[in-house]
Amino acid sequence: MTQSISNQEHFITLSRQAAAEGAVLIKNDANVLPLKPQTKIAVFGRSQFDFYRSGTGSGGSVNVRYSVNLVDGLTKKNVILNERLKETYEKWLQDHPFDNGGGGWAMEPWFQEEMSITPALVAEAKLESDVAIVVIGRTAGEDKDNLDQPGSYQLTKDEETMLDLVSQTFDQVVVVLNVSNIIDMSWLELSSFGERINSVVYVWQGGMEGGNAASDILVGDETPSGKLTDTIAYRLHDYPAAKNYGGEEKNHYEEDIYVGYRYFETFCPENVLFPFGYGLSYTTFDYTIQSAEIKRNCPSELIEVTVKVTNTGATYSGKEVIQLYMEAPQGQLGKPVYSLIGFNKTKKLAPGETEIITLHVPIEQLASYDEVGLTGEKASFVLEEGEYRFHIGTDVKTIKPVLFNEKSEVFIKHTVIDRLEEAARPVEALMRMKPGEKRGDGTYQLVYEPVPMRTIDLDERINTRLPKEIAAPKTRYTLQDVANAQIDMDTFIGQLTNDQLATIVRGEGMSSPYVTPGTASAFGGVGDDLLHYGVPIACTADGPSGLRMESGVHSTQVPIGTALSATWNIDLIEALYTCEGIEMYDNQVDLLLGPGMNIRRHPLNGRNFEYFSEDPLVTGAFAAAVTKGIKKAGVEATLKHFACNNQEKHRHNVDAVVSERALREIYLKGFEMAVKDGQARAVMTAYNPINGHWAASHYDLVTTILRREWGFNGIVMTDWWAKMNDCVTGGEAKTTQTNHMVRSGNDVYMVVNNYGADINSAGDNTLQSLEDNTLTRAELQQAAKRIIQLLMTLPVFKRKQTITEQAVIVTPQEHESIGAKSLDLPLDFQTTNEQRIQVEAPGEYRIIVTLMSPQSNLAQSACRLMINNQYVTTIQTNGTDSHVIKQKLVKVALDKGTYSITLQDKGEMLHIHTLQFQRLNQ
Ligand code: BGC
């Protein structure tokens, strides 16, 4: 389970490069950055030591070999660190260790207590240093949205005092933001201290190489070339989703397609502090448009714009991002003033060096979705007739018009690009934003219009499209017969019994003993019967920013999604994820549970760090790059969370009430790109409902759009312990309604307990539904076919899988047997993490654990079970609302003798009650 050294080294190099390229310099007055060689620097803020490498939750739990903080990074550079200040911090940190909130799920606080800064301390630091660096750290994550409070979105009083004192004393101050997502920046405008800050750089959270990458930027070994993929508004309540964000039961997407800069530039550009696409460099660039043409010869029409970019600086090499925006006619549908339709990044240009960048945009990409036929045909993507303008720029506000034959506008005739069918519309009334009258400055009045509601008969749609049952063959075959082309897949599927089909739609986990220890799930042949047919068991692991293996095995942690997309460097991220794919392959992980790719609708979403942007094109481009990169290593990505997982609070229940247009143009667009361009083979549905249907049982989402329209031919899985409701009538959601899951086109329920799939330990209704006709055998066969088709393309199919369960062999130790317990009774772990046992009868024992977690069912907890310091298994559960549950764990082979049993890294939210060693028949 080790990877080749060369991939590891390459992976780390690319990871550092991505973290550096993702850093966004938003202010650099008097060119305080980069720090000149031998600059004397004083670094303030504890996060220089406790440098965050990621957000929290499943997307952040990577067990790394090492992690480089900012001090480590700067120490290796040619600058002089103020040692006295560093020691003061180190001493203080001894009594103020990192607070992880107890280690439980979503317990880690958003920020860490700061050391109080006194005028005397700053004055003393100033005696030896010329430049002050102030590091501000923040985190957030799964089940832990940011809050509009000091210490989360806002600065704390301590941080303000620190910035105030430092900027009064130092006349060169750099702020380093080690954060998972944009934070409030309005303080930068404050005359008290904000205006005195010279430089600000968002270094985000750069994975395990974060401190090295941030240092590369600070000293100018790398020139910043990152650009914001979100708009930074003056105030949080300026964001168009602010009014509805965070709701418990409903989240009305009133802003419709006017998300991020689409909203600000259309209605209120004055509310923007730092625009979408913005980021400074240490050098300067000039760009001129060389040519602009609509090419009509290709399979479809293509806009081609070539831009000459020159590094006009004298000292630093650097890269520039060229962005192409469209200004479409308002027409009948209404449009944002600007929409990003293409971008490209230069290579590293030396001073004076030039590169010609070409942008190609298929004309279909300019289309808008017409729900009700205002332009002629309903449910179609159309180009509304009128004058289209295009702009090239380095952010959405710094743009130049593109001239086509010396004209700034291109007339496009009314064209229907794609005829689709109505899907996933709201079933309750909703008003949405729309541009009204045009104002003199080119912006629009904000008006509202009713959103078109569902008009189709979902029951009829589903029932007329049910698949046909595959007949059973007379002979028994194995999957290898399909691989050898002796039989076709249908013949293989036809022989599977209802029980077997019901088993295959259940994934097991977490930490299934069948697959790589400590990973998220095992799926496929999770039942003896299926294994005998040669159906392998594939392994999934979180994702997205590194392999999550709760077994203690190390893996590489890459920068968070925020940083990856801020690079605007698609090729780099694709190459990075090929390394990730190789690491997956080497660890026998077949599917990564990532990329996370929900739209960053609002800055408070805790999982924004896993996602890419407020913009669908940026989101889709990076998701496709991650997917392609991973595929190059022979493994697969899983696009998540499909769709609208745009807040963590109440994520299990909050209904996204959203128009079909906003879904298709904004929230689903990125997924479409990753499916069509990235060729993704796996998708994870979200926890939340969308227009009354939980995503895991959303027929239109999964079947009408994803499968039928986009041609997706892979598997769809639920999120872990997700709920489903009636795929026709909606209503109450339950974790057991797998009939609606399968009927909607969602193939795998993630997850039931280990060893629980073939005994239906979760009590789902799959088999019962075949009896009451709410599901057909043909639908189950269809799901099984998709699962098996994917399995056959994964490394697991070629790997020799040990099908029989092997007991973990542990040898006894020379412990004193006095005080060691016998195995007759369950061992009580309620008040201890360690017990010693005396084994009298050598043989194989099944371990049964009883446990509970007081948290609710989406919280995850884990610990490692060690016997004589040897890793045996990971005990992992979701929250049980304090109910004590039983889990079957691995088998162990024990000799006569004494053993010490320990629970390692157990957080406060996992309560192990007992461990029982049941002797198995010998
Ligand atoms: C998260 C998913 C993750 C899964 C497995 C869920 O709680 O929402 O993103 O992949 O757990 O860890």
Q: Give pLDDT tens digits for 348-390.
A: 999 999 999 999 999 999 999 999 999 999 999 999 999 999 9
Counting from 1 in the atom list of ligand 1, the atom nearest the Cα of 645 is: 8
Domain 285-450 is of which CATH architecture? Sandwich (2.60)
Provide the β-strand partners of residue 541. 592
Residue nearest to atom 8 of ligand 1 (CA): 719
The mean pLDDT value for 85-89 works out to 98
Residue 5 has pLDDT above 90, yes or no: no
Rounded to whole angstroms, the Cα distance separating 916 from 818 reads: 20
Summarize pLDDT for 767-799 with one digit per residue, the tens.
999 999 999 999 999 999 999 999 999 999 998
pLDDT at 813: 85
Which helix H or strand E contains 622, and what residues bound it?
helix 616-632
Residue with tokens 């941080």: 159
Provide the β-strand partners of residue 349. 318
For residues 625 and 552, is the Cβ–Cβ distance under 8 A? no
- CA neighbor of 196 nearest in space, from 173, 176, 216: 173
Number of other CB atoms surrounding residue 38 within 10 Å: 8
- CA neighbor of 792 nearest in space, from 506, 525, 516: 525
Q: How far is the CA of 511 from the centre of ligand 1 (A)?
A: 13
Q: How far is the CA of 519 from the centre of ligand 1 (A)?
A: 11
Summarize pLDDT for 161-190 with one digit per residue, the tens.
999 999 999 999 999 999 999 999 999 998
Residue nearest to atom 4 of ligand 1 (CA): 720
Residue nearest to atom 6 of ligand 1 (CA): 720
- Domains 285-450 and 465-549+587-798 belong to one CATH topology: no
Number of other CB atoms surrounding residue 871 within 10 Å: 16
Rounded to whole angstroms, the Cα distance separating 89 from 69 reads: 14
Q: pLDDT band at residue 806, thresholds of 50, 70 and 90?
A: confident
Residue 300 has pLDDT above 90, yes or no: no
Phi, psi values for residue 696, rounded to 5°: -70, -10
Q: pLDDT band at residue 807, thresholds of 50, 70 and 90?
A: confident
Residue 2 has pLDDT above 60, yes or no: no
Catalogue the E-assigned strands of 512-563. Answer: 521-524, 537-542
Q: Which of 144, 508, 593, 716 most suits a substitution to test ligand 1, by most atoms within 8 Å of the C-beta?
A: 593
Residue with tokens 């029982």: 916
pLDDT at 450: 98
Which helix H or strand E contains 636, and what residues bound it?
strand 636-637
Instruction: Give the pair of three-digit tokens for residue 205.
Output: 């959270």
Which helix H or strand E contains 307, and what residues bound it?
strand 302-311
Which helix H or strand E contains 914, and what residues bound it?
strand 911-919
Q: How far is the CA of 859 from the centre of ligand 1 (A)?
A: 10
Domain 5-238 is of which CATH architecture? 3-Layer(aba) Sandwich (3.40)
Q: pLDDT band at residue 76, thresholds of 50, 70 and 90?
A: very high
Residue 505 has pLDDT above 90, yes or no: yes
Residue nearest to atom 2 of ligand 1 (CA): 719
Instruction: Give the pair of three-digit tokens for residue 612.
Output: 């890419």
Q: What CA–CA distances, in Å, run from 424 to 460, 496, 728? A: 15, 33, 11
Rounded to whole angstroms, the Cα distance separating 282 from 751 reads: 49
Instruction: Give the pair of three-digit tokens for residue 653.
Output: 């229940």
Residues labelled catalytic:
719
Rounded to whole angstroms, the Cα distance separating 112 from 101 reads: 10
Counting from 1 in the atom list of ligand 1, the atom nearest the Cα of 59 is: 9
Q: How far is the CA of 385 from the centre of ligand 1 (A)?
A: 44
Q: Which of 717, 719, 853 most suits a substitution to test ligand 1, by most atoms within 8 Å of the C-beta?
A: 719
Residue 413 has pLDDT above 50, yes or no: yes
Q: How far is the CA of 862 from the centre of ligand 1 (A)?
A: 14
Residue 1 has pLDDT above 50, yes or no: no
Q: Which of 542, 685, 716 most suits a substitution to test ligand 1, by most atoms within 8 Å of the C-beta?
A: 542
Q: pLDDT band at residue 3, thresholds of 50, 70 and 90?
A: low
Rounded to whole angstroms, the Cα distance separating 104 from 908 reads: 6
Which range among 266-275, 605-614, 823-832, 855-864 shows the weakest confidence by mean pLDDT?
Answer: 855-864
Residue 231 has pLDDT above 60, yes or no: yes
pLDDT at 707: 98
Residue with tokens 């195995």: 823
Residue nearest to atom 3 of ligand 1 (CA): 58
Residue 416 has pLDDT above 90, yes or no: yes
Instruction: Give the pair of three-digit tokens for residue 385.
Output: 């007739």
pLDDT at 312: 98
DSSP label of 748? B
First to last CA, the chain: 31
Residue 586 has pLDDT above 50, yes or no: yes
Which range among 241-245, 374-378, 527-531, 832-836 shows the weakest confidence by mean pLDDT?
Answer: 527-531
Rounded to whole angstroms, the Cα distance separating 539 from 799 reads: 12
pLDDT at 907: 86
When the pLDDT of each residue in the chain is averaged and rounded to a whole number, the result is 95
Counting from 1 in the atom list of ligand 1, the atom nearest the Cα of 687 is: 8
Number of other CB atoms surrounding residue 239 within 10 Å: 23
- CA neighbor of 423 nearest in space, from 709, 716, 731: 709
Alpha-helix residue ranges (DSSP H) falling in 313-354: none
Q: Higher-confidence residue: 792 or 104?
A: 792
Report domain extents, the chain.
5-238, 285-450, 465-549+587-798, 808-919
Which range among 199-213, 394-408, 524-538, 591-605 shows the weakest confidence by mean pLDDT?
Answer: 524-538
Rounded to whole angstroms, the Cα distance separating 436 from 684 reads: 38
The domain over range 808-919 is classified in CATH as 3.50.50.60? no
Residue nearest to atom 9 of ligand 1 (CA): 58
Number of other CB atoms surrounding residue 214 within 10 Å: 30
pLDDT at 761: 87
Number of other CB atoms surrounding residue 69 within 10 Å: 22
Summarize pLDDT for 457-481 with one digit per residue, the tens.
999 999 999 999 999 999 999 999 9
Instruction: Give burial (CB, 10 Å; 0-12/13-18/19+) of 908.
Output: middle
Type of residue found at 782: Q
Q: pLDDT band at residue 307, thresholds of 50, 70 and 90?
A: very high
This prediction has a pTM of 0.94
- SS (HEC) of 211-248: HHHHHHHHHCCCCCCCCCCCCEECCHHHCCCCCCCCCC
Counting from 1 in the atom list of ligand 1, the atom nearest the Cα of 593 is: 10
Counting from 1 in the atom list of ligand 1, the atom nearest the Cα of 640 is: 9
Q: pLDDT band at residue 920, thresholds of 50, 70 and 90?
A: confident
Which residues have CB under 6 Å of ligand 1? Answer: 58, 142, 520, 542, 593, 640, 719-720, 858
The domain over range 465-549+587-798 is classified in CATH as 3.20.20.60? no
Summarize pLDDT for 710-733 with one digit per residue, the tens.
999 999 999 999 999 999 999 999
- CA neighbor of 597 nearest in space, from 622, 566, 567: 622
pLDDT at 196: 96
- CA neighbor of 501 nearest in space, from 696, 687, 769: 769
Alpha-helix residue ranges (DSSP H) falling in 35-130: 70-75, 83-95, 119-128
Q: How far is the CA of 706 from the centre of ligand 1 (A)?
A: 21
